[in-house]
C-alpha cells in the first residue's frame, strides 16, 4: 500500500500512452488515418495524457466539460478540473471528419503523436473564445480592468493569444498516445512520468512531498521557498516546465543546469528530487496554479508551493490570487473528485539587509529600502542588458551559468517590466 497521495480523479493513473505490440499496431493504423495538425500546447497536453499527468483525462474535452470547467471548475461528471483541455481544427478539416472517425494528430515537428476517436465536434465562435478567455485568463490585476483587458491581452497575454488563435471547431474524444516527443532524450533523468516520480518518492519512504514549480532560473527566493518546504515535508520536488515558454524566457537546458548547481552546493541532496514536465505555459495565473496542483497530485505531490504571482504574466492577476483561489474552488465530497493536493502558501520572500538573511512579509518588520526584492523578470532583464545583478539576488555559481548563456545569445528579446516587480 502506497503512502503517497492518490492520483486525481479516483481512477489511479490514467495513461493513454501505448507500449509494445499495441503501440506498433496503432502506429501502423495511424499512417492510414486522416491527419490533423496540432499546436504546441495541444502536443504538451497529449503527452501529459499519455503519461498520466492529466489523470483522469483520457482525451480532449467535449462541450459540456469545456463549459462547466470554465464556469464551475468541474468536468461534466463533477470531478474538479481547473482549465479547458481542448483540441481545435479548421472548419474545412472538421467538416471532413465524421463523428466516430479515428484521426491521427500530428505535432508541429511533423511527428504523429496520437490517434483520437472523434466523439463530438463543437463550433467555437469568436464570442466563445472570448468568453473562455474572460473566464479563465482575466484576473484581478490592473491589466484585467474591463476597459483595458482586451486591448492589452491581445498584445501581451500569451495565454489569451493562444485561445484566440485556436481554429473554429473543437474536436473531442479519447486519445491513444504514440510517443513522448524528444523530452526523454533532451532531459535524461529530469523529464519523468508520474509513475517514475512516485517510484522515486516511495523508494525514499516519503509521504509528504512539496513541489516547487519553476519556469525561470532558480534564484534565492525560490531556494528559500524550497528550503521552507524541506523543513515541513519529507521531501521537495523541484519540478521545471520543459515545454515552450514565451520569447525572452530562458530555455530549460540552462535552467536545469542552474538547479543542478544549486542542489550540489546548497541543498541536502537526499531531501530533493529534480524533475521536468512537458507542458507549455498557459500563463493562466490562479487557474494555472490550480492546474499545477492537479497534475502534481498525479506526480505524487501533496503540497504545491504557491508564492507571489504564480504563473502570472504582466499585471493581469492580483499578486496572491493564485493562493486565495484554492479557498474558492468547489470541493466535491468524493475524494476522487476533489483536488487533494493542497497549496503551501508562502508570502513574498526577499533578502533583507537588516534581518541579514532571507525573509518574508510575515517575518521581516523592515521597510523596502533594506529589502532586495527578487523576481525572475528583473533578473532576466539585468542579465539580458548586461547590467550588474544586485547582491543576494542569485547565487554566484548560478549567475555564471546565466551570464554565459546571455553572452552567447544572438537575438535579444526586450524584457518588459511591469509595475509590480
Q: Which stretch binds Zn ion (CB under 5 A): 163-171, 340-348, 357-365, 397-405?
A: 357-365
Residue 291 is a binding residue for Zn ion (CB under 5 A) = no
Complex with Zn ion: residue 148 or 353, whichever CB lies closer: 353
Q: Which stretch binds Zn ion (CB under 5 A): 337-345, 359-367, 377-385, 390-398?
A: 359-367
Give, in order, the Cα–Cα distances in Å from 190 to each of 180, 186, 319, 391: 14, 9, 30, 30
Residue 354 is a binding residue for Zn ion (CB under 5 A) = yes
Q: What angle do CA 305, 311, 317 make, to 5 degrees?
A: 110
At its nearest, how many Å lie between Zn ion and the CB of residue 119? 57
At its nearest, how many Å lie between Zn ion and the CB of residue 230? 22
Site string for Zn ion, 301-340 (x = CB under 5 A): ----------------------------------------
Residue 352 is a binding residue for Zn ion (CB under 5 A) = yes
Complex with Zn ion: residue 210 or 352, whichever CB lies closer: 352
Euclidean distance between CA atoms 202 and 143, whole angstroms? 44
At its nearest, how many Å lie between Zn ion and the CB of residue 399? 23
Choose which of 355, 372, 389, 390 interacts with Zn ion (CB under 5 A): 355
* Beta-strand relationship, 342-345 and 303-306: parallel
Q: What angle do CA 386, 226, 56 make, to 5 degrees?
A: 110
Residue (of 254, 226, 296) closest to 6 by Cα position: 296
Site string for Zn ion, 10-39 (x = CB under 5 A): ------------------------------
At its nearest, how many Å lie between Zn ion and the CB of residue 393? 16
Complex with Zn ion: residue 39 or 349, whichever CB lies closer: 349
| Active-site annotation holds for 215 | yes
> Considering 43, 58, 216, 271, which one is annotated as catalytic?
216
Choose which of 364, 374, 379, 399 interacts with Zn ion (CB under 5 A): 364
Beta bridge partners of 172: 120
Complex with Zn ion: residue 353 or 403, whichever CB lies closer: 353
Complex with Zn ion: residue 56 or 307, whichever CB lies closer: 307
- Find all residues with CB under 8 Å of 141, minimum gap 6, and list them: 312, 314, 315, 316, 317, 318, 321, 420
| Active-site annotation holds for 58 | no
- Report the site for Zn ion in 166-225 (rule: CB under 5 A): none
- Report the site for Zn ion in 366-385 (rule: CB under 5 A): 366
Complex with Zn ion: residue 3 or 363, whichever CB lies closer: 363
> Considering 215, 282, 308, 395, which one is annotated as catalytic?
215
| Structure-block grid coordinates of residue 284 | 493562466
At its nearest, how many Å lie between Zn ion and the CB of residue 219? 18
Question: Per-residue DSSP letters for 110-131?
Answer: S-EEEEEE--EEEE--HHHHHH
At its nearest, how many Å lie between Zn ion and the CB of residue 351? 9
Euclidean distance between CA atoms 260 and 187, whole angstroms? 12
Q: How would you classify residue 311: left for phi > 0, otherwise alpha for psi between -120 and 50, otherwise beta? A: left
Query: What end-to-end distance do the CA atoms of the chain give, in Å?
Result: 46
At its nearest, how many Å lie between Zn ion and the CB of residue 133? 40
Q: Which stretch binds Zn ion (CB under 5 A): 97-105, 149-157, 178-186, 364-372?
A: 364-372
Complex with Zn ion: residue 292 or 392, whichever CB lies closer: 392
Residue 358 is a binding residue for Zn ion (CB under 5 A) = no
Give, in order, the Cα–Cα distances in Å from 282 to each of 5, 64, 84, 368: 26, 22, 11, 32
Q: What angle do CA 67, 343, 64 make, to 5 degrees?
A: 10
Give, in order, the Cα–Cα distances in Å from 237 to each of 149, 194, 219, 275, 284: 35, 12, 16, 7, 22
* Phi, psi angles (nearest 5°) of residue 122: -140, 135
Residues in the chain: 421
Binding residues vs Zn ion (CB under 5 A): 352, 354-355, 359, 364, 366
Annotated catalytic residues are 215-216
Amino acid at each position: 500500500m502506497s503512502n503517497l497521495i492518490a492520483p486525481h480523479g479516483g481512477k489511479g493513473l490514467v495513461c493513454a500512452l501505448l507500449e509494445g505490440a499495441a503501440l506498433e499496431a496503432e502506429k501502423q493504423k495511424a499512417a492510414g488515418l486522416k491527419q490533423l495538425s496540432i499546436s504546441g500546447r495541444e502536443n504538451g497536453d497529449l503527452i501529459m495524457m499519455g503519461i498520466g499527468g492529466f489523470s483522469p483525462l483520457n482525451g480532449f474535452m467535449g462541450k459540456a466539460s469545456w463549459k462547466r470547467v470554465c464556469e464551475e471548475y468541474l468536468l461534466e461528471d463533477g470531478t474538479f478540473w481547473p482549465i479547458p483541455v481542448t483540441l481545435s481544427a479548421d472548419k474545412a478539416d472538421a467538416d471532413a471528419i465524421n463523428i466516430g472517425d479515428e484521426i491521427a494528430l500530428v505535432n508541429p515537428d511533423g511527428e504523429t503523436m496520437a490517434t483520437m476517436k472523434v466523439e463530438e465536434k463543437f463550433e467555437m465562435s469568436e464570442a466563445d473564445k472570448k468568453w473562455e478567455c474572460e473566464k479563465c485568463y482575466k484576473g484581478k490585476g490592473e491589466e484585467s480592468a474591463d476597459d483595458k483587458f482586451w486591448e492589452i491581452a491581445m498584445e501581451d497575454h500569451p495565454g489569451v493569444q493562444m485561445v484566440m488563435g485556436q481554429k473554429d471547431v473543437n474536436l473531442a474524444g479519447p486519445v491513444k498516445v504514440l510517443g513522448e516527443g524528444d523530452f526523454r532524450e533532451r532531459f535524461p533523468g529530469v523529464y519523468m512520468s508520474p509513475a517514475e516520480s512516485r517510484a522515486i518518492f516511495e523508494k525514499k519512504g516519503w509521504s509528504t512531498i512539496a513541489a516547487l514549480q519553476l519556469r525561470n532560473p532558480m534564484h534565492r527566493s525560490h531556494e528559500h521557498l524550497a528550503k521552507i518546504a524541506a523543513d515541513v515535508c519529507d521531501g521537495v520536488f523541484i519540478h521545471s516546465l520543459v515545454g515552450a515558454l514565451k520569447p525572452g524566457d530562458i530555455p530549460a537546458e540552462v535552467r536545469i543546469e542552474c538547479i543542478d548547481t544549486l542542489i550540489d552546493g546548497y541543498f541536502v541532496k537526499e531531501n530533493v528530487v529534480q524533475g521536468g514536465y512537458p507542458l507549455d505555459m498557459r500563463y493562466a495565473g490562479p487557474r494555472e496554479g490550480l492546474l499545477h496542483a492537479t497534475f502534481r497530485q498525479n506526480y505524487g505531490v501533496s503540497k504545491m508551493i504557491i508564492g507571489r504571482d504564480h504563473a502570472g504574466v504582466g499585471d493581469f492577476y492580483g499578486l496572491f490570487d493564485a493562493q486565495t483561489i484554492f479557498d474558492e474552488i468547489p470541493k466535491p465530497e468524493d475524494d476522487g473528485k476533489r483536488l487533494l493536493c493542497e497549496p503551501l502558501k508562502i508570502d513574498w520572500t526577499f533578502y533583507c539587509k537588516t534581518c541579514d538573511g532571507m525573509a518574508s512579509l510575515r517575518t521581516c518588520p523592515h521597510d523596502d529600502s533594506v529589502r532586495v526584492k527578487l523576481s525572475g523578470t528583473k533578473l532576466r532583464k539585468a542579465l539580458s542588458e548586461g547590467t550588474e545583478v544586485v547582491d543576494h539576488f542569485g547565487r554566484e555559481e548560478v549567475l555564471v551559468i546565466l551570464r554565459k548563456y546571455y553572452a552567447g545569445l544572438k537575438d535579444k528579446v526586450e524584457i518588459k517590466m511591469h509595475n509590480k516587480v
